[in-house]
Amino acid sequence: MSKEKSRKLVNDETKEGLIYFEIWGIALILLSIIIISELGTIGAALYVFIKFAFGDWYWLILIYQFYYGIMLILYHEFPTYKLIKIRGLLFILSGILINSHFAIYHTVNNNDGFFNIIGQTWNVYMTYLDDPNADLITGGGIVGAVLFQVVYTLLGTIGTYFIAYALLLFGVAYVFERTIYDLIGDLYDGITGAISAIRNRLLNEYKKMKDVSKKNKEVKKTKFDIFDHNKEVEDTELASDAFFDQKLTLDDEDEIRGKDKKNGFTVLNPKILDTYDNKNILDGQKELTIGNAKVINSFLSEFNLHLEVNEIYIGPTVSTYIIYIDESYKTKKFFNFKEDLELKLNSKSLRAYHSIEERRTLVIEVPNKYRYKISLREVLEERKRGKKTGLPIGRDYRGKLKTLNLERNKNILVVGNDLDSKVNFLKCFLLSILYTYTPEEFEVVIFDSTKYELNDFSKLDHLFYEFTTLFKTCTPLFIKLYTEIRQRFNLFQKYSCSTIDEYNERNKEKQMKPIVLIINDFSDLYLNRGEYLNYLNYIMNNGNKVGIYLLFATSTISDNLFKSHLKSSFQTIVSFMLNEKELSLKLIEEDATKLLKHGDCLIYERDGNTSKRTQIATISDDDITNSGL
């Protein structure tokens, strides 16, 4: 059955299309080599033609042709000239050709009015054909001559200079997809940064030289005083000993930085991460939570509901009140008065729902007046102390540690209209991997179509595939993961295994690592409708069977995106605040419109059909910086 699906995915037509692009790519690469080497009559003739067309910059065209051929082989599609980078390269080439043609202009211009730069360029090439060894300036070739003639005729000499450099500037801006203002700012920052670095280096060298000179003088003074001032020398030695007692060793530095060697990889210790003192916040909230419990009990008595609060929990974001109910109790009676309870507690964000997770209960969640922050450091350390599995990400409504176990949670969907919370969750998830596993134990693949939200992790040591942001690079990425899954299925079959743990138990030398594919923002991928979707759907349906998991994140949420077959592919959904109640109920069967911002979320697990309110650990800029990212 799996073979039939594989053949359906990569059918003959697809293979034929891939070969077509590879043939074109190889042809362009070979043609570049033939021309640059002037191989045979054809190579020599094409060399003369290219040089005639582009002058002294003919080699740049051949390099671009070589690069274009490689792109065809790698991505199996023709880069169109609608792409902003391609247009940028054309602008740069035009600017170079125009600017380089000023050499011919200054040679032949007699300041006697209009002259034919195209004709003069033609004459230069006729001379070159008669004597190829002649030392001639060919400028930007006939193409450069045409561009130069048009611009010069319209704008004159100064205007031509301006256009040439403007094209270069615009081209660079297009290639790097930056505004001109940003480019100038980057250039300024680069220059000032370089000057500052040089200045600091010189000052450090000067300081070192000054210190050496001072020490040399002290040594000379000590040698002189040693015969007549023994007491002074003894005091100096004691002071010196006291200083060296406090000198940092490499071990001390490791302790401060929190480094620990594991499998040859330097694992960071959570001690370098931020931590928060929440004692005063908890003390202040405790009194309010108990007061609200009395208000709830009073409300239950006032409306003759014959209930009372049985359990109270102070969580990071909300205080939770649990009321036991028997099997015969009709919860509709309680929910009819829910708005009255909101008024009594003065809380529009109150959530109340019926739960049968452990026993039949009514659950009331009231937002805390004093919310406390959770640090990644505290949850990492608690996981280590408690010897728990999974990736620690925060605390649930009871303040208990919350982890994500990919073997159980498998494919994870992260949604929410609260963009900051989504980005914070992704950073928390990645840092949790960094502090929990070495690259030999766990690998990551990141596609970030936003091009900026996860840039801090572009050089992560755990990367299975290079950090990717462009749609055109998706196909080779997903093909690699598709191939990896097929290879793992073959290995499982060969060694009669059904899980990674079984395989690793039987293959101590060559261990198989879990991989998580993180896609942010995944809605862009589906809306773009590229050919990679076939591979992505295969990865989604089969990857978790061989230890390759998915984490899809998006803040763009619509009914068209979340069809039933797509929703069913995710075993776990992490939902931050949503604007639409109907969509929330469709996704997680809960009302996420009542959630708060700054990391407050519901984690829905399909297997148990349960949702648990959770506060995600806050990731600060210092956490990112101190982690070496």
Residue ranges of the annotated binding site for ATP are: 416-423
- The secondary structure of 490-554, three-state, reads HHHHHCCCCCHHHHHHHCCCCCCCCEEEEEECHHHHHHHCCCCHHHHHHHHHHHHHHCEEEEEEE
Residue 231 amino acid letter: K
Q: Give whole-number Cα distances, 23 to 17, 18, 30, 76, 87, in Å.
A: 10, 9, 11, 10, 25
Tokens representing 120? Answer: 């003069």
Name the burial class of residue 450, with classes exposed (0-12), middle (13-18) and buried (19+) by CB atoms within 10 angstroms of its CB: middle
- Of the candidates 408, 173, 380, which has an alpha carbon nearest to the alpha carbon of residue 269? 380
Pairing of strands 311-314, 515-520: unpaired
Do 501 and 495 meet the contact criterion of CB atoms below 8 Å apart? no
Residues belonging to the binding site are 416-423
| Cβ count near 269 (within 10 Å) | 17
Whether omega for the bond prior to residue 521 falls within 30 degrees of 0, making it cis, is yes
DSSP states along 292-358:
HHHHHHHHHHHTT------EEEE-SSEEEEEEE--TT--THHHHTTHHHHHHHHT-TT-EEEEE-SS
| Cβ count near 414 (within 10 Å) | 26
Dihedral class, residue 8 (left if φ above 0, else alpha if ψ from -120 to 50, else beta): alpha
Who's near 178: CB < 8 A, 6+ residues apart? 186
Residue 53 amino acid letter: A
Who's near 521: CB < 8 A, 6+ residues apart? 449, 450, 553, 554, 555, 556
- The pairs formed by 10-13 with CB atoms below 8 angstroms and a separation of 24 or more are none
- Of the candidates 575, 569, 570, 625, which has an alpha carbon nearest to the alpha carbon of residue 600? 575
Greatest alpha-carbon span in the chain:
110
CA 61, CA 102: separation in Å to the nearest integer? 20
Name the burial class of residue 356, with classes exposed (0-12), middle (13-18) and buried (19+) by CB atoms within 10 angstroms of its CB: exposed
Name the burial class of residue 190, with classes exposed (0-12), middle (13-18) and buried (19+) by CB atoms within 10 angstroms of its CB: exposed
